Amino acid sequence: MRADLAVEAAAIHVDRSALSVLLSLHTADRPLRIGEIAARMQVVGPHVTRQVNELERRGLVVRVTDPDDQRARLIEATPDSAKATERYIGAIIDWLADALADDITTRLTALDDEPPTASSG
């Protein structure tokens, strides 16, 4: 449920697998080969290829030439998808911060409500 809200906040409408591809590219901070993305996601290459094809069709990733091997292609996030991924991560971090703050407040309130013990007084 929270992940869906984060996707809405990011204003990027992709499924979870496609989002995982974008997150893999984001955390790598460089273009990756399909096999590298698959390894990061712990899935098989054809699964990533399908996701990349759809993301490319939607203009969210591009294929670029690998400077180390002109025959190979790397997958790179577009600036728009990189910004959307940042918004998604920001929404998740905000949710976690709120959840932790609520938990800490609840715990401190519970401590204040406890009667003093003989050793505290």
pLDDT in tens for each of the 121 residues of the chain? 556 666 666 667 788 889 999 999 999 989 999 999 999 999 999 999 999 999 999 999 999 999 999 999 999 999 999 998 898 888 888 888 877 876 676 766 776 666 666 665 5
List Cβ neighbours of 61 (8 Å cut-off, separation of 6 or more): 21, 22, 25, 52, 55, 75, 76, 77, 78, 81
For residue 40, the model assigns a pLDDT of: 96
**CA 103 from centre of chain:** 24
Task: Report the Cα–Cα distance between both ends of the chain, in Å, rounded.
Answer: 46
The packing angle between helices 45-57 and 34-41, to 10°, is: 110
93 to 12, 20, 48, 100, 121: CA distances (angstroms): 17, 16, 26, 10, 40
For residue 66, the model assigns a pLDDT of: 94
- Cβ atoms < 10 Å from Cβ of 12: 20
